[in-house]
Amino acid sequence: MHPAIFSRFLAIPAAAAILTSCGDSSDPTTLVERELTASEKSFNMVETSRERFRYQTQAPVAGHGDTAAAESGASEPKLTYDTPEGWEEKPGSMMRDVNFVFGEKGEGSCYLARLPGAGGGMAANVNRWRGQFDADPLTEEEIAALPKLALFRQPATLVEVDGPFAPGMGSTETFENYSLRGLILASSSGAVFVKMTGPKELVAANSDAFNQFVASLDVKTN
């Protein structure tokens, strides 16, 4: 990959995704590519088709814009990633573009989701996640001091919390001794979330797998 990268955030809507994989999903080197749906390609949140991608990606060839790419027959961008060993991919949904379960009974989960706009803001999302674990909200200063991990080559905020997990979203069940490890990457043009939850020991055992998945995420434009 060329070392130069875009300096601006690129936007993608929160549309449903159909995921296809090449080979056995238990293979940690499996590369998965997803063609964008028609609604994603036509989502005109920002100026150019490249900018419709929230993810920072490879820089275009100098002097060649969207028109040149279209005329040359360049392929549409694809979301790519590695499937960690032991993780099983499940179908995406309106809120989850990439969706995995892991553990003997599939009790652990990890997903990637996108929202247009600011997605509610960093503080609101961090404290929403913490609220699912009955944890006190953090101040803006405390949130700014949270660790960062690279997500699509940009610094994303790392959120980690333990406790009784009440996921909400129509569920009234509470899961004791659970953990969350998640990343939030947000700007005024869009937000990306990667969220892993499960029993505390299981999440700890899959911390490296989470990091592997996050590091592998990319958008290919050719």
Per DSSP, which regions of 9-97 are E strands? 20-21, 31-35, 78-82, 88-90
Q: Tell me the longest C-alpha to C-alpha distance in the chain.
A: 56
- Is 17 a residue whose pLDDT tops 70? no
The whole-angstrom separation of Cα 191 and Cα 184 is 7
CB contact burial 180-200 (16+ within 10 A = b; e otherwise): bbbbbbbbebbbbbbbbbbbe
Q: What tokens were used for 211?
A: 């990091």
Q: Compute the Cα dihedral for 168, 172, 173, 174 and give only its sign.
A: positive
The whole-angstrom separation of Cα 1 and Cα 57 is 10
pLDDT-based confidence at residue 75 (cuts at 50, 70, 90): low
What is the tens place of the pLDDT at every residue in 101-138? 999 999 999 999 988 776 678 999 999 999 999 999 99
Q: Compute the Cα dihedral for 26, 30, 35, 39 and give only its sign.
A: positive
For the chain, the structural domain boundaries read 20-220
| Cβ atoms 26, 86 nearer than 8 A | yes
pLDDT the model gives residue 102 = 98
pLDDT-based confidence at residue 35 (cuts at 50, 70, 90): low
pLDDT-based confidence at residue 24 (cuts at 50, 70, 90): very low
pLDDT the model gives residue 106 = 96
The whole-angstrom separation of Cα 189 and Cα 12 is 9
Q: For residue 203, give the nearest of 64, 130, 131, 107 by alpha carbon.
A: 107
Contacting residues for 203 by C-beta, under 8 A, at least 6 apart: 108, 178, 179, 180, 181, 196, 197
What is the tens place of the pLDDT at every residue in 188-219? 778 899 999 999 999 999 999 999 999 999 98
| Cβ atoms 80, 35 nearer than 8 A | no
